[in-house]
């Protein structure tokens, strides 16, 4: 799967390449980092991926990314209230992180620009393949973010909220988190703003032995923003990662989830809800590598499509040859509520080990008429009945999270979406 060489550059491609030339002197990084940036922009010069690139089959980035806004140094974004009260907030405002964040016990926080300048982050900047356009875009332009190191055995009482707030222009952010052995944490990745920005955000997470992390991605960009995000994680021995993704905004959204189990006994849970309205194009793409024996994973994705929205879910489970006794299950359910909307899904299994149990299921349908009838027979009007059913469909996934405060916070976000999108 190589990116095809394009005969002519689109305005967006030209704008990105020109912007790189203009910004080069302002981008932080030592020699190694700058070399990675050069490689990354070379990849973009070969053209953004089209639908001919298999992993971008349903999201033709070259066609969809029509406009790239200029960098806007005057844009001022403000930190927002965290979704869980009392969280330690680490804000990145219009691509710039705050050097004076409050101290959190057991956690060392550094601005990512420092890690770029000393070059210690360079090895993590490589895109994972020739079709990794988000990785390349971010590596070329990333200027700041955070590096968070949670000490071995630390058990955080309050969530850490990593906020990436934009007010227009372009922001390219990287959030790197290392969780020490036996540590426990809840991390919220908040993606929001109010401008017609181009956002690229890459999160990297490494879980040490026995660590337990719940990571929530709450994406509520305005319907003018382009949001290209990537979440990469390595799950160590007996470590547990629960990833919750709530996608509820943006004009063009691609959220990639790249997870690898690297130690026996690792467990991964993905729960996702995609709420699509207007004429958004929203793509969630997951690649899960079961690389060692005795690891487990379950993924449940629920989608609601209204208006003229186009939704995509691609989920691939790779079971490597020696990853015997893998147990992996994936489900993707979609409620398609509008004739103008569409949803495409591609759940893949790639299995090279024989002693495994893997399965996936996918459905696309509208609201069950029997359920609707049941409610309406009890005097609930059709609109409210539909609302109830749709909400129940997605809320089910949220309720699976154990932590009550988080469930409540997410349900509040959900309610807000239903209020604005009827």
Contacts with other proteins by CB under 8 A lie at 54, 57, 321, 324, 334, 336-339, 341-366
- What's the closest the beta carbon of residue 317 comes to other proteins, in angstroms? 9
For the CB of residue 101, give the shortest distance to other proteins in the complex, in Å. 44
| Secondary structure element (H or E) that encloses residue 407, with its range | helix 404-421
**Considering beta carbons, is residue 191 or 345 the nearer one to other proteins?**
345
Task: Round to whole Å and give the CA distance between 129 and 404.
Answer: 39
Q: Cβ closer to other proteins: 362 or 407? A: 362
Smallest separation, CB 354 to other proteins (Å): 4
Q: How far is the CB of 2 from other proteins (least distance, A)?
A: 9
Q: Closest CB to other proteins among 353 and 388?
A: 353
CA distance 128 to 144: 20
Contacts of 65 (CB under 8 A, 6+ apart): 10, 12, 48, 226, 252
Which residues pair with residue 108 across a beta bridge? 149
Residue 365 and residue 335 in contact, taking contact as beta carbons nearer than 8 Å = yes
Closer to other proteins at the Cβ: 5 or 365? Answer: 365
Listed in sequence order, the residues at least 6 apart from 361 whose beta carbon sits closer than 8 Å to its beta carbon are 330, 331, 332, 347
What is the 8-class DSSP label of residue 120? Answer: T
181/337 with CB nearer other proteins: 337
Task: Centre a 10 Å sphere on the Cβ of residue 329 and count the other Cβ atoms it contains.
Answer: 15
- Nearest approach, Cβ of 350 to other proteins (angstroms)? 5
Give alpha helix (H) positions in 191-298: none
Contact 105, 17 (CB under 8 A): no
Residue 60 or 411 having the CB closest to other proteins:
60
What three-state secondary structure class fits 61?
Answer: helix
Q: What's the min distance (Å) between Cβ of 316 and other proteins?
A: 8
């Amino acid at each position: 799967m190589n990116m095809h060489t394009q005969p002519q550059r689109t305005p967006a491609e030209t704008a990105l390449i020109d912007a790189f030339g203009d910004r080069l002197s302002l981008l932080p990084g030592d020699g190694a980092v700058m070399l990675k940036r050069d490689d990354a922009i070379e990849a973009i010069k070969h053209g953004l991926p089209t639908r001919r690139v298999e992993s971008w089959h349903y999201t033709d980035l070259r066609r969809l990314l029509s406009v790239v806004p200029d960098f806007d140094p005057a844009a001022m974004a403000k930190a927002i209230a965290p979704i869980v009260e009392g969280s330690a907030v680490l804000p990145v405002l219009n691509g710039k992180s705050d050097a004076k964040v409050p101290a959190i016990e057991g956690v060392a926080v550094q601005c990512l620009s420092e890690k770029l300048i000393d070059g210690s982050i360079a090895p993590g900047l490589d895109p994972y393949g020739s079709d990794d356009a988000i990785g390349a875009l971010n590596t070329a332009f990333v200027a700041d973010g955070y590096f968070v190191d949670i000490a071995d055995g630390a058990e955080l009482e309050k969530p850490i909220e990593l906020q990436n707030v934009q007010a227009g222009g372009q922001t390219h952010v990287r959030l790197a988190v290392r969780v020490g052995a036996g540590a426990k944490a809840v991390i919220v990745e908040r993606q929001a703003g109010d401008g017609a920005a181009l956002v690229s955000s890459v999160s990297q997470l490494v879980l040490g032995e026995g660590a337990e992390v719940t990571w929530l991605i709450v994406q509520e960009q305005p319907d003018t923003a382009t949001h290209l995000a990537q979440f990469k994680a390595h799950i160590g021995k007996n470590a547990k990662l629960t990833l919750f993704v709530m996608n509820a905004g943006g004009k063009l959204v691609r959220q990639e989830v790249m997870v690898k189990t690297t130690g026996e006994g690792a467990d991964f849970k993905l729960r996702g809800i995609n709420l699509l309205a207007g004429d958004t194009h929203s793509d969630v793409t997951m690649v899960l590598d079961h690389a060692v024996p005795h690891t487990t994973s379950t993924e449940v994705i629920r989608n609601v499509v209204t208006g003229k929205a186009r939704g995509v879910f691609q989920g691939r489970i790779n079971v490597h040859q020696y990853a015997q006794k893998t147990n992996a299950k994936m489900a993707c359910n979609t409620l398609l509520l509008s004739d103008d909307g569409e949803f495409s899904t591609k759940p893949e299994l790639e299995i090279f080990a024989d002693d495994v149990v893997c399965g996936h299921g996918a459905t696309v349908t509208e609201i069950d008429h029997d359920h609707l009838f049941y409610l309406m027979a009890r005097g609930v009007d059709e609109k409210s009945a539909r609302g109830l059913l749709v909400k129940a469909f997605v809320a089910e996934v949220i309720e699976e999270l154990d932590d009550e405060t988080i469930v409540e916070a997410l349900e509040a976000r959900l309610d807000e979406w239903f209020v604005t999108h009827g």
